[in-house]
Structure 1
């Protein structure tokens, strides 16, 4: 005759097994949802980057990037050249250069941009320096303060393509009517995928935390 006695240890083992399976499924589901959210956000970053929304605005905004003792880096120069083209096209009478400096710098990013534009023939009175901003959100807030002081409400923002959606969203959240006109000589192909994913993650962080999550590493600002 078989012994049909139920051992407590066997029951506990089965319960632990079921719990382990449930936890595994929950983690897999969470990873799947996270992947879908990140993928959808990355697609939106890519989608907005493809379109130039240039329109007339109260100001053309050049978001800062590295400068070397007053000489714009290649990334910043690309943005300035693009802003100069928009200015000469008559889309705005004012250009706002944005960006602070690092410890020991003689110039801010805003000053370097302003000097370059004036050297190209833009009247000094047409350039406004916003010498604040070590990340995108601080830069956009500095632009919002300039707009408030001058009673402006629209901005045509110049940055790199993959940065367009995030800076436009931040500007709109600051009450500006924002458009983006991205450069077309920005991030090279070898860093494009990494930059899109970085921007997608930064955008999700901003949506949740209402704070900036800028990460340096590619020299892209």
Structure 2
């Protein structure tokens, strides 16, 4: 029989093994998120779905502007026919994110008829669900999901779980440039990706 000391040693080894496995899993997810967002393969699609981000008054925040600009480039290059802007009202004194995105895109030469919006969503999952409803009305079936590189692995997985034919289209530039800001964003996305895998929320 094991004595008390031996049992404690075995328990410590089991706990160490579990912690090591957890750390390895987290590191693996983080790396997969990082490298996934660096995939810049160009795929033609019916529409670009631009995931919402904060607005400052009537103007897009720097993060949102990068996403809008990328979708405009996709549109002008002929990679998509339509842009779908998503996002509701973050603050009662601000316009809905999707409306701000549409206004900005029109000033950059995108035809109003080629822009669709949904203005009710507050989360990434809601962005995608509501965009899918809009797309269904116009028989759009293939999508490029536009967001910051580190946000895309979770976003595309959500879209595909909704039955969408969706592909990543990371912004070539991002406001998360410093090592510190990238690490914070990566840690956040790793947590939310893990939660989504387990709980689908």
Aligned counterpart for 2:39 among listed residues 46, 51, 70: 51
**Long gaps (5+) in structure 1:** 1-10, 212-221
Indicate if the aligned counterparts of 1:70 and 1:111 stay in contact, CA closer than 8 A.
no
Aligned counterpart for 2:178 among listed residues 165, 181, 189: 189
Q: 2-side partners of 1:105 and 1:210: how far apart?
A: 32
TM-score (norm 2): 0.92
Q: 2-side partners of 1:198 and 1:103: how far apart?
A: 23
Q: 2-side partners of 1:118 and 1:106: how far apart?
A: 19
Q: Which has the larger radius of gyration?
A: 1
* Range with greater deviation from structure 2 (144-153 or 38-47): 144-153
Aligned residue for 1:181, secondary structure, equals: strand
TM superposition shift of 1:110: 0.6
How much is the aligned-residue C-alpha RMSD, in angstroms? Answer: 1.8
Aligned counterpart for 2:28 among listed residues 40, 43, 51: 40
Aligned counterpart for 1:100 among listed residues 78, 88, 93: 88
TM superposition shift of 1:153: 1.5
Q: Does 1:206 align with 2:196?
A: yes
Q: 2-side partners of 1:35 and 1:178: how far apart?
A: 30
Q: 2-side partners of 1:103 and 1:81: how far apart?
A: 23
Q: 1-side partners of 2:58 and 2:43: how far apart?
A: 30
User: How has the CA–CA distance of structure 1 residues 133 and 23 changed in structure 2, closer, same or farther, with 3 Å as cutoff?
Assistant: farther
The residue number in structure 2 matching 1:65 is 53
Q: 1-side partners of 2:74 and 2:91: how far apart?
A: 32
TM superposition shift of 1:64: 0.8
Deviations 1:64-114 (Å, cap 9, x if unpaired)? 111022200011111111111110001122100011112413311111101
The residue number in structure 2 matching 1:137 is 125
Deviations 1:184-215 (Å, cap 9, x if unpaired)? 2211123112222221221111010000xxxx
Aligned residue for 1:56, secondary structure, equals: coil
Aligned residue for 1:97, secondary structure, equals: strand
TM-score (norm 1): 0.84
Misfit runs of 4+, over 4 Å: none
**Long gaps (5+) in structure 2:** none
